[in-house]
Amino acid sequence: MPSSNQQRPAIGVGIIIERNDGMILLGKRRGGHAPYWSIPGGHLELGESFEEAAARELLEETGLQLGELTVVALTNNLQTYRHEGYHSISVTLHGRYNQQPIVNREPHKCEGWHWFSPAQLPEPHFDASRQSIHCWLQQRLYLPSL
């Protein structure tokens, strides 16, 4: 098992953005999470609500500003811990795409944003993203790690 200096799990947020046709927005990550595909997201900052963190991350990564964001999943990302020694808990929210242009505002962190069927995720896929989409599709807030 990889070693880690972490004392406690980190808290992440993810956002499932759904188009009217059921497709969801995914990005191909660079840097620390390369070469994985993932929903938009990042870390919860001190004093932020889940909704504030999700809205901030979404704006930073894609330029999108959505209306209502609803919590749909909680994940305990043990696969990432086993492979990388980094343990996180993720809170995932869902929002509806509102036809705004999507801009890759962090090209150093993401190769680009694309629409996919949630039933046919591109590989390799980031653990927290995969678990979140699975929970959302099953309409379950939490499911044990896949």
Q: Is 61 helix (H, G, I), strand (E, B) or coil?
A: helix
| pTM attached to this predicted model | 0.94
Q: Is pLDDT at 1 greater than 60 in this prediction?
A: no
Interval 118-137 mean pLDDT: 97
Reading the block at residue 36, the tokens are 């994985």
**pLDDT value of position 30:** 92
Q: Which domain holds residue 76?
A: 10-138
Residue 5 within any structural domain of the chain: no
Considering the domain boundaries, does residue 144 fall inside one? no
In tens, the pLDDT along 13-39 reads 999 999 999 999 999 999 877 799 999
**Is residue 121 assigned to a domain?**
yes
Percent of the chain scoring above 90 in pLDDT: 88
Please tell me the distance from the alpha carbon of residue 29 to that of residue 111, in angstroms, as a whole number. 6
What is the structure's pLDDT at 34?
A: 78
pLDDT of residue 4: 63
Within-domain flag for 54: yes
The pLDDT of residue 89 is 97
Write down the pLDDT at residue 32. Answer: 73
Count up the domains in the chain and report the number: 1
113 assigned to some structural domain: yes
pLDDT digits (tens, 9 = 90+) for 75-117: 999 999 998 899 999 999 999 999 999 999 999 999 999 999 9
Maximum separation of any 2 CA atoms in the chain, in Å: 44
Is residue 115 domain-resident?
yes
**Domain-located, residue 51:** yes
Q: How many CA atoms lie within 13 A of 129 on its CB side?
A: 25
What's the CATH number where 74 sits?
3.90.79.10
- The token pair at 136 is 């959302």
Q: Which two tokens stand for residue 68?
A: 């209502």
